Amino acid sequence: MVLPDARAFEQARARMAPHVYHTPLLTSRMLSDRTGFDVRLKAELFQRTGSYKIRGPLNKFTFLTPDEKARGVICSSAGNHAQGVALAARIFGIHAVVCMAANATPSKIQATRAYGADVVLHGSIWDEANEKAQELVRERGYTYIHPFDDLQLIGGQGTVGLEIFQDWPEIDVAVVPIGGGGLISGVALALKSLKPAVRVIGVESSGAPGMKRSVDEGGLVTLDRVDCTIDGLRVKRVGEKTFDIVRRYVDDIVTLPDEQIFEAVVWTMHHAKLVPEGAAAAPVGALLHGLIKAPAGARVACVLSGGNVNLDQLKGLRWN
């Protein structure tokens, strides 16, 4: 497996430059004061489609053959990959089909359709929607676009890490949410190819700790059940490629319950005036609950991976 390196991430960034934003890295005085670190927030919630997920498909589609494009593409998604694939397909003039869990955030379903993709609703978690996507590949010959376990996709997602380093070469620690592992794989590879001493820490829901369990047990684990309502973190089995990258390049993985992550959404809205979705707020939650271990004054970048939040999930939560 030939992994993307600094040059590959630079090339990916050049390919997607006409279609994506270089999102800001914002200083968070409140988080810095509370944690004793110098904290900055990589605001991918300002990206097109509202999350980093447009990056990977834009890079991936440049490698498709004319035949693969002509057959149309299909993916399975909790929502953000759906929108990324849908918009990237529209940019490339490719027909797109997206399989989403039936309980996906309604705004994500609507946005995916608005970008021009056909949406198929199936199951209650990503893994079940993915089974439907694979069935349609066999039946109709679509070109399958994996949401995380693809090196060309990872090459696109890793441009988030490239931008962090370009804006803040002094960075000591990057904190990144983990669903299937595509984002943290790309960010870890990009940052460590540019500055090997950077520590990369992943954050999962304690109700869906697929990557942490796999790393701790030394092999891919399929969770028996997922007790997680945050769509970007709700995965039973992480990717083979992402597992291999994470176990080699990610320094630590921490977990916290959904309620604390949702409270971090509200905290970030109140104190940072930003509106992250649940998965995006997981790194902030990890900081607020003292799970990120680093020396005082460490320069810490939190990746706010998206802003397609389901506000109904926040009812009754508190902030402090």
**Residues with catalytic function:** 53, 305
Q: How far apart are the first and last CA of the chain?
A: 46
H/E element, 190: helix 182-194
Q: Which residues pair with 204 in a beta bridge?
A: 255
DSSP category for residue 306: B
Distances 131 to 122, 134, 223, 230, 233 between C-alpha atoms, Å: 9, 5, 16, 20, 18
Matching residue, tokens 């149309």: 72
Q: Looking at this protein, which amino acid is placed at residue 80?
A: N
H/E element, 299: strand 299-304
Distances 1 to 178, 214, 241, 245, 320 between C-alpha atoms, Å: 21, 19, 8, 10, 46
Matching residue, tokens 């997607």: 16
Distances 39 to 27, 217, 218 between C-alpha atoms, Å: 6, 32, 32
Contact in structure between 174 and 200 (CB atoms under 8 Å): yes
